[in-house]
Amino acid sequence: AGAVYTYHEKKRDAEASGYGTQNQRVGKDSIKGFDCCCLTLQPCNNPVITADGYLFDKEAIIQYIITKKTEISRKMKEYEKQKKKEETELAELAEAEKQYKNQCFFRKQKKVLQAILMVY
């Protein structure tokens, strides 16, 4: 073993550690600018910074909140409508089952009465 760190040893160590590998290059358009909003990727007019260090435009945050509120209310109305429809279907099914049981009961009672009348 020599005292010199050879090219092949460097390459082997780099592959083992994963450091210095390059699968693909990242272009400038894939990284947002320093002063750009994280939601719109546009330069901020009224910047707001979170505790974690993310930069947002206040107008973008408000617009996002309004959009999400309307979306949630729309989905809630759809859910209520679907829930009501399922409840009515369940009630109709229960009513149909009740009617079927009543019909079966009346048929059996009719047969019993006919059998009793035939005996006499």
CA distances from 101 to 88, 92, 114 (A): 20, 14, 20
Q: Would the pTM count as exceeding 0.75?
A: no
SS3 56: strand
Whether 1 shows a pLDDT value over 60: the answer reads: no
Per-residue confidence (pLDDT) for residue 21, from 0 to 100:
62
Lowest mean pLDDT among 11-15, 26-30, 56-60, 98-102: 26-30
- Residue 31 tokens read as 């990284």
Query: Which two three-digit tokens encode residue 117?
Result: 């009348």
CA-CA-CA-CA dihedral for 18, 21, 27, 30, to nearest 10: -10
Q: Quick one: pLDDT at residue 80?
A: 98
Residue 22, pLDDT score: 64
User: Residue ranges of the domains in the chain?
Assistant: 7-119
Q: What is the mean pLDDT of residues 15-28?
A: 69
**pLDDT digits over 70-90, tens only?**
999 999 999 999 999 999 999
Mean residue pLDDT across the chain: 89
Inter-residue contact 56 to 40 (CB < 8 Å): no
Among 25-34, 63-72, 105-114, which is the least confidently predicted range?
A: 25-34
User: What is the pLDDT averaged over residues 97-111?
Assistant: 94
